[in-house]
Amino acid sequence: MSTSWGDESSRGLNQPRKGGGTVEVRLCGEADGRSVYDARSDRLTIGVSPMTDQAVLEASAAVGATTPQYDAIVIGAGVAGIYQIKTLTDLGVKAIVLEGAHDLGGTWYGNRYPGARFDSESYTYGYSFSKELLDEWHWKERFSGQPENLRYLNYVADKFDLRRHMRFNCRVERMRFDEADHLWVLTLANGEELTARFVVAAMGLLSIPTPPKIDGADTFRGQAFHTFDWPHEPVELVGKRVGVIGTGATGIQVIAEIADQVGELKVFQRRPNWSAPLNNGPISDVEMADIRARYDEIFATCARSPGGFEHEPDRRGFYNVSREERLRLWDDLYDTPGFAIWLRNFVEIFVDEEANAEFSEYIADRIRRRVHDPEVAEKLIPRDHGFGVQRVPMETHYFEVYNRDNVELVDLSETPIERITPAGIQTIDREYELDVIVFATGFDAITGAYDRIDIRGVGGLTLRDKWQDGPQTHLGMLVHDFPNMVMVAGPQSGSASTNYPRGIESGVGWLTGLLEYAWEHGHTRIEATAESEADWTEHVEQMYSKVLMRKAKSWFTGYNSNVEGHGEGTTRYLVYNGGAPKYVRTIAEVANNGYEGIDFATNVAGVESSELE
């Protein structure tokens, strides 16, 4: 069959549902079992009618020779996994979350480095599925920091009694699809095996850190760690000689936060990144009350905007307004909180070389005004890409750091690192003696978490091999030859390039609807067709051709010099560039058309039948 992705039509996405009933199982250590109270309600679903809990349980019992231990296993207890397990337990199905870390939180559990915080407005990052939750939680800052973000996720899990469905220190090492019985066999790091009809991959987009490939790293006598592995116990930095390798989003946050604490700070920069002020501030009781009253409006704006943020692009046309008007707009946006400078700008800066060059020069001038040393200022201005063609790091007094006497910028394009020594870092020019080295060198983005698991589908095909030259998916949520595995925020999905919680609520809702559809019809196998996968992958690639992002060396294009096969000269089409509204309309239409492009099969007492919906 041929699938078209141009249809902009849509039908209703939100259908409330209430449910309860769970099955508690303990493994990989005992869960603490604590709960506050159960208030499960108002879950987003897409394209399906509500089912009773009994109907789900009866449908999930239609199995073949082997009954799996779980109807569904969710991998990952971050933002996506928390919401996914809530929707499944609301249905009453037997489901569990496996988390490799010691506790829930995902990126907000791991990333404890100084300066870690949202670049989304806090109140647009929280879950929208419960009015009661929205009314109860008071965000303290416009862009909340890691400690509060983790407290929020714990609050959600406790409020809805979700911890009893989660098992920590459970790292999945292998997954094998059993073709005869239509189930997945998961092998954990401790050797235990679990079986599930469906596996929901809810691993983080940026959850696999990539330390740099530098000789001698194991010889350093001081402390050295990647930002993702920042120790949970306090790190003494006052008066210390600290080196930070990397000036991406994480490096920019760390550098700005610690510069006034350390004795000396050496910033090792290979390539500069564009950055703009976050303009953070507290949220008062009065302002929070106003936000609560406007939540419907706020989330409606997020749903309309291409990135799922509270910022909509200026559609007047770059060349339809005067240079003076453009400058006035940019001055205003530069002082506006968050991604306004990026996402409330003219659409042309994303697609037109000349428009992007003019705006990039405006940002360059703002950098020059903030950095006293002209030579240092020029080294902080990117020359290999324009502003906004990759995700923009947001900063707080980052550029002013370079005006401090205790901070030195080391330009690795002039003096590359030769090796790490017992005393510090040796460049071709000199050795820098250090007490602490921080690797702010990024992640094996989006597909990295999948590559770390030996996932074997039909005929023993590994997902790692299938995606060796780049991911191939249907809607970013299913993969041909890997039946019954669904991805909340997989490569090529809308969730991978939007305000994450807004994207995952749509993704979780759609996937939960798909699983309900299978259970309602007694299907034990769901799989994207080869044709629908090829059509979607081609569509994603075509969307890259429309934006300047295609030229960037960033995780949006799969670039990472520290990952084999992801270096310069390769492009991996990892994200969907059509915008969140179009993506949500598309997946809704697929559901409303009976999940076109997905093959369903039923295995009852060893007899298999199939249909193409």
Name all domains of the chain by residue range, CATH numbers in brackets.
53-100+169-208+445-612 (3.50.50.60)
AA letter at 21: G
**Separation between Cα atoms, residue 31 and residue 50, nearest integer Å:** 31
User: Residue 10 pLDDT more than 50?
Assistant: no
Scored b (16 or more CB within 10 A) or e, 529-543 reads: beebbebbbebbeeb
3-class state of residue 392 by DSSP: coil
Residue-level pLDDT at 30 = 45
Regarding predicted confidence, which is higher, 27 or 245?
245
User: Residue 7 pLDDT more than 70?
Assistant: no
Supply the mean pLDDT for the chain: 88
Closest CA to 277 of 142, 404, 393: 393
Confirm if 422 and 221 have CB atoms less than 8 A apart: yes
- pLDDT (average), residues 567-577: 79
pLDDT-above-70 percentage for the chain:
86
CA angle 430, 432, 435 (to 5 degrees): 165
Confirm if 277 and 367 have CB atoms less than 8 A apart: no
Q: 598-604 and 607-612: which strand pairing?
A: antiparallel
Closest CA to 253 of 108, 111, 368: 111
User: Residue 44 pLDDT more than 60?
Assistant: no
User: Residue 612 pLDDT more than 90?
Assistant: no
Residue-level pLDDT at 549 = 79
